[in-house]
Structure 1
């Protein structure tokens, strides 16, 4: 799924980002997410991108690449488990939607910024 994100056209990325931001906004109207959880979610999203970045930088030979690939495959599940475990139980599904949305926003910010066209050299 992440490989598609890096190769997706701009308009698909924009539509997806607007959809995630709209879901966060609607969920925020019901129950706002605390700033500490927002920052934690953004950091987890940054980590998702940096894991993909490391995957491209490690040589294909060796067990470290295999271990990293295994970790990158289970990392999204670890993110969901961490978010569900840490969040308070009040309106849990609303807050979970916001937290996972901010994970995606953190991922979007870093991945799009790294792959943007350079204006000056």
Structure 2
């Protein structure tokens, strides 16, 4: 699924970003997410992109490539587990939506920024 994101057309990316931001906004109206969890979510989202970036930079012949691919396949599940475990139990699904939304927003923005066309050489 993450590989599709890097090859998706611009309008699909824009639709996903708007939908995630709208979900975060609606969930925030019920129960705001604390800044500590927001920063943790932002770091996890950056880690998601950084893992994909490392996968493209490691040579195909090494055994570390297969280990990294396995880790990158389970990393989104690890993120969900970390978020579910660390968040407070009050309104758990609302704050989970916000935390996972912030993970996705950072992933979207960092991946789009990295692959943007350079204006100046």
The residue that corresponds to 2:8 in the other structure is: 8
The residue that corresponds to 2:82 in the other structure is: 82
* TM-score computed with the length of structure 2 as normaliser: 0.99
Aligned length: 121
What pairs with 1:99-118 in structure 2 (closer than 5 Å)? 99-118=99-118
The whole-number CA distance in structure 2 between the counterparts of 1:92 and 1:83 is: 10
Structure 1 ranges of 4+ moved more than 6 A: none
| Structure 2: gaps (5+ residues) | none
Across the aligned residues of Structure 1 and Structure 2, the Cα RMSD in angstroms comes to 0.5
The residue that corresponds to 1:73 in the other structure is: 73
| Structure 1: gaps (5+ residues) | none
Post-superposition Cα deviations, 1:63-95, rounded to whole Å, max 9, x if no partner, equal 100100000000000000000000000000000
